[in-house]
Structure 1
Amino acid sequence: MFNANSMLVRVWFGAVLAGTYKYSQVPNLSNLRDEVGKKLIEIGYDIENEQPAA
């Protein structure tokens, strides 16, 4: 349903990067969390430990 360019994916991606929310707080709505996770992993964010890229 969602893809990397979906508005909701971009909003949650930005919110996690800004530190407003943690990856674990991204709603498990359809494939939203998966798509946000993919984008975060691409930039080196550790979704398991909720850590930005070093």
Structure 2
Amino acid sequence: MTYTKDSVIVKTWVSLVMAGAYTVDQVPALFNLRTVVQEVLGTLE
């Protein structure tokens, strides 16, 4: 399974991180979920 920036779960996690409920490090490393969330947030190092 591969997530994209348009996946509902990615949008949900981006919202949660932006709201301060979670940090990027708390996003599950499920397939490529954390990577895509980082890309959307612009925090990919």
TM-score (norm 1): 0.76
The runs of at least 4 aligned residues of structure 1 exceeding 4 Å deviation read none
Using CA pairs under 8 Å that are at least 6 residues apart, name the structure with larger relative contact order, 1 or 2: 2
Unpaired runs of 5+ residues, structure 1, are 49-54
Aligned identity (percent) is: 39
Q: Which has the larger radius of gyration?
A: 1
TM-score (norm 2): 0.90
Unpaired runs of 5+ residues, structure 2, are none
The RMSD of aligned alpha carbons is 1.4
